[in-house]
């Protein structure tokens, strides 16, 4: 009998508007999960305006990414060959957005196109406004039977697992392993796509190690995404948009790492758009270089990329063509750039741990 083994990849579990979109192709769907917030401080339950801004940001991300995620219906996955079987059991974890405690999900299944993000609030230090990232992914394996059938059983499990857990988008984690039965060794590679993420927002804006009052929060955050950002305040919608994009993998997954060399980027879409991939990343290698300009996909206006590492008080950011180019290089399919929307005129409808830093008003 083959014994059990476990592999895990979870470097990113802790951190990390109005759009035109094709009406007939439902795809990527960011689903916000408030269960930990409800069980904790219930910040969003008591702040409808902040909730609306977060939901609007989730809609913006969902509409910008057009990748269709396959459903995960089988947990675990077993491959058989004659009387021999090999089972791959997926494991998912995320960081509780209220407590920071690692939470394990017992059920790895996921509906078609769903990407679930667990949201909450925490006491954050310094200039940190929020943190977001994808959950951790891992597998445990077991199997047994006859040596002559072993390689076939492992291969069948590998194929069946990848057919579901790859999900058809970017590769979040790749695992290579060589299970042995007796003197026979098989080789398998499994690729896991995205399923879940986590994010939280700062509720200690004065850094006094205590939760802010509602007045303190309102003095610091601009919660209403439907009105211009008040002078001196941080736009909650913009921070939510930034952290949600981290939560779906930006800066934190294997398909990102494969394109990073220091602060250089090797992806063709970014190089084609910017004219270079040299020194286009922040030194943390998980953000676009600070001050990188692009065009808003909402109104085609010049704007700093939403995925550079900071934001100016009194301003609002949207997703830009630069952000889309990075997402596309990672393996996502995305909406056309603003200048290309006319091509879709017949089928378009109007649809309404990483750190995001603040800097002084300029």
Q: What is the pLDDT of residues 174-202, one digit of tens each?
A: 999 999 999 999 999 999 999 999 999 99
Nearest to 2 by CA among 185, 188, 187, 181: 181
What is the chain's mean pLDDT, rounded? 89
Query: Is the pTM higher than 0.85?
Result: yes
CA 275/CA 268 separation, integer angstroms: 10
For the chain, the C-alpha Rg in angstroms (whole number) is 22
Q: What is the mean pLDDT of residues 33-56?
A: 98
Residue 46 tokens, joined: 């008591």
pLDDT at 21 over 50: no
Q: What is the pLDDT of residue 148?
A: 98
Q: Say what percent of the chain tops pLDDT 90.
A: 84
Q: How many helices (H) and strands (E) does the chain have?
A: 8, 23
pLDDT at 360 over 90: no
Q: What is the mean pLDDT of residues 14-20?
A: 33
Q: What is the pLDDT of residue 284?
A: 97
Nearest to 238 by CA among 293, 289, 299, 305: 305
Give the DSSP letter of residue 65: B
pLDDT at 11 over 50: no
């Amino acid at each position: 009998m083959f014994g059990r083994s476990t592999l895990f990849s979870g470097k990113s579990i802790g951190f990390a508007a109005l759009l035109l979109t094709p009406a007939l192709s439902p795809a990527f769907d960011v689903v916000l999960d408030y269960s930990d917030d409800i069980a904790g401080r219930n910040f969003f339950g008591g702040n409808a305006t902040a909730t609306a801004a977060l939901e609007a940001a989730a809609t913006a991300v969902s509409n910008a990414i057009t990748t269709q995620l396959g459903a995960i219906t089988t947990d675990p996955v077993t491959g058989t060959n004659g009387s021999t079987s090999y089972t791959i059991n997926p494991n998912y974890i995320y960081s509780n957005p209220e407590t920071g405690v690692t939470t394990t999900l017992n059920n790895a299944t996921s509906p078609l196109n769903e990407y679930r993000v667990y949201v909450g609030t925490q006491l954050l230090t310094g200039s940190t406004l929020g943190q977001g990232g994808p959950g951790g992914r891992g597998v445990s394996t077991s199997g047994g039977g006859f040596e002559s059938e072993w390689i076939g059983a492992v291969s069948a499990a590998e194929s069946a697992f990848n057919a579901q857990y790859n999900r058809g988008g970017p590769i979040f984690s790749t695992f290579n392993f060589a299970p042995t039965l007796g003197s026979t060794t098989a080789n398998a590679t499994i690729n896991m796509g995205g399923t879940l993420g986590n994010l939280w927002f700062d509720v200690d804006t004065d850094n006094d190690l205590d939760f802010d009052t509602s007045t303190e929060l309102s003095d610091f955050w601009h919660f209403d995404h439907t009105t211009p950002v008040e002078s001196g305040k941080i736009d909650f919608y913009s921070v939510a948009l930034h952290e949600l994009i981290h939560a779906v993998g930006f800066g934190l997954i294997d398909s990102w790492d494969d394109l990073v060399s220091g602060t250089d980027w090797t992806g063709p879409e970014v190089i084609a758009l910017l004219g270079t991939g040299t020194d286009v990343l922040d030194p943390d290698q998980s953000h676009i270089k600070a001050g990188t300009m692009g065009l808003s996909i909402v109104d085609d206006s010049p704007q700093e990329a939403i995925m550079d590492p900071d934001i100016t008080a009194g301003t609002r950011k949207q997703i830009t063509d630069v952000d889309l180019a990075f997402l596309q290089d990672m393996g996502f399919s995305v909406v056309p750039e603003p200048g290309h929307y006319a091509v879709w005129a017949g089928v378009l409808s109007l649809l309404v741990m990483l750190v995001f830093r603040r800097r002084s008003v300029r």
